[in-house]
């Protein structure tokens, strides 16, 4: 059984301007709770959820089999500072991160590289949401 969504995660997800058909990137997905919830809200859209922890990706994958089977949710074991779109993959409408050290100030040495990877992964008009910052458009991310 999938973990219940916490009020903190539910509030964050509720605040995202999700639309049917969106492509969404979650950075630091942990057990996949937010990714599963978003995949239910965006209809034919796609969620790619990444985490630097292989254990987190195993837990997320094990708890998300029905959503993965739809083809609309994918988990990937990769740190944001190493993330790249796959060949031919469309950029994302939204990227978000909650409590990710490379983005929230806990690991400032990783932030510039992480932000460059996010800029490359987002549509120019796409939005990045980090729980400790105001939203920013992909085109506005500093190089």
DSSP per-residue codes, 77-104: E--GGG--PPTTPPPEEEEEESS-TTTS
Give the distance from CA 115 to its chain's centroid.
13
Phi, psi for 37 (deg, rounded to 5)? -65, -45
- Which fold, 7-140? Rossmann fold (3.40.50)
Confidence of residue 143 (pLDDT cuts 50, 70, 90): low
**Is the model's pLDDT at 2 over the cut of 70?**
no
- pTM score, whole prediction: 0.93
Which value, to the nearest 10 degrees, does the dihedral of the CA atoms of residues 87, 113, 78, 65 take? -80
pLDDT digits (tens, 9 = 90+) for 9-38: 999 999 999 999 999 999 999 999 999 999
């Amino acid at each position: 059984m999938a973990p219940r969504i916490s009020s903190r995660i539910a509030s964050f997800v509720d605040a995202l301007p999700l639309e049917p058909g969106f492509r969404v990137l979650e950075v630091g997905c942990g057990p996949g709770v937010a990714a599963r919830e978003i995949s239910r809200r965006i209809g034919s859209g796609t969620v790619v959820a990444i985490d630097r922890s292989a254990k987190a990706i195993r837990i997320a994958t094990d708890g998300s089999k029905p959503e993965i089977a739809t083809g609309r949710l994918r988990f990937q074991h990769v740190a944001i500072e190493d993330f790249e779109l796959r060949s031919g993959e469309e950029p994302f409408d939204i990227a978000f991160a909650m409590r990710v050290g490379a983005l929230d100030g806990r690991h400032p040495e990783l932030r510039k590289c992480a932000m460059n990877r996010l800029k490359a992964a987002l549509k120019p008009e796409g939005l990045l949401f980090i729980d400790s910052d105001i939203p920013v458009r992909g085109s506005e991310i500093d190089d």
